[in-house]
């Protein structure tokens, strides 16, 4: 195939022998191929994927890096709900009767990263204006809106058994990744250990 390039006046352009040949804009360059590879991705990372990456990371520095690279307010909320023993869930522990959402990713489901702001509804003391029946119905609706993997992950978070399902995903790892103290609050900056005592 021969590509003929034309000058603005319509004459055929000559390619210089000492320059690299001009590329046709439709032919993919290395940058174009990278962009095409990225275009097939969904553009979001599920919290269940983050947990799996933490599980699969070979050592603690890599596990920390996974959490820090995906650090968002929503991830911090989920981690705190998963590990802070002072947080008590207001929905029953164990299995929940819901129908898993089997829609393909990126189609008909919500994201836990977006729904995390509603988790207060399911925490004791979060919202006392709704009945327990309504709370449980809302929780089932939340689970059914999420992808199947994220719904399973949220159930593990609810039961505070993340480390049982994802090796190395622990309270201490989360505290170190987000610079939290034992109360899952950000450590004060500019203080030393002797000043705290």
Residue 114 within any structural domain of the chain: yes
Domain that holds residue 74: 47-178
Alpha-carbon gap, residue 121 to 11, rounded angstroms: 70
CB-based burial label for 168 (10 Å; 0-12, 13-18, 19+): middle
- Residue 192 within a domain: no
Question: Among 15-24, 64-73, 129-138, 144-153, whose mean pLDDT is lowest?
Answer: 15-24
- Report if residue 1 sits inside a domain: no
Whole-number Å distance between alpha carbons of 20 and 129: 71
- Report how many domains make up the chain: 1
Does 29 map to a domain? no
pLDDT at 37: 47
User: In the numeric block, which tokens belong to residue 80?
Assistant: 């705190």
Alpha-carbon Rg for the chain in angstroms: 25
Q: Within a domain: residue 158?
A: yes
Entry pTM: 0.70
Query: How much is the pLDDT for 20?
Result: 53
Q: Is 116 or 107 the better-scoring residue by pLDDT? A: 116
Tens digits of per-residue pLDDT, 17-67?
Answer: 455 555 555 555 556 555 544 444 445 788 889 999 999 999 999 999 999
First to last CA, the chain: 77
pLDDT higher than threshold 50 for residue 139: yes
């Amino acid at each position: 195939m021969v590509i003929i390039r034309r000058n603005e006046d319509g004459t055929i352009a000559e390619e210089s022998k000492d320059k690299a040949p001009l590329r046709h804009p439709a032919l993919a360059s290395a940058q174009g191929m990278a962009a095409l590879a990225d275009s097939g991705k969904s553009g979001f990372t599920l919290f269940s994927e983050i947990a799996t990456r933490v599980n699969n990371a070979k050592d603690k520095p890599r596990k920390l890096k996974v959490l820090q690279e995906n650090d968002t307010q929503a991830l911090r909320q989920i981690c705190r709900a998963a590990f802070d023993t002072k947080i008590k869930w207001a929905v029953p522990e164990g299995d929940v009767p819901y129908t898993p959402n089997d829609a393909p990713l990126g189609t008909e489901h919500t994201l836990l990263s977006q729904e995390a702001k509603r988790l207060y509804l399911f925490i004791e003391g979060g919202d006392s204006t709704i009945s327990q029946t309504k709370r449980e119905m809302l929780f089932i609706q939340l689970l059914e809106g999420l992808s199947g993997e994220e719904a399973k992950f949220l159930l593990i978070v609810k039961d505070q058994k993340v480390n049982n399902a994802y090796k190395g995903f622990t309270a201490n790892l989360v505290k170190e990744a987000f610079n939290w103290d034992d109360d899952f609050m950000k450590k004060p900056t500019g203080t030393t250990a002797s000043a705290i005592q």
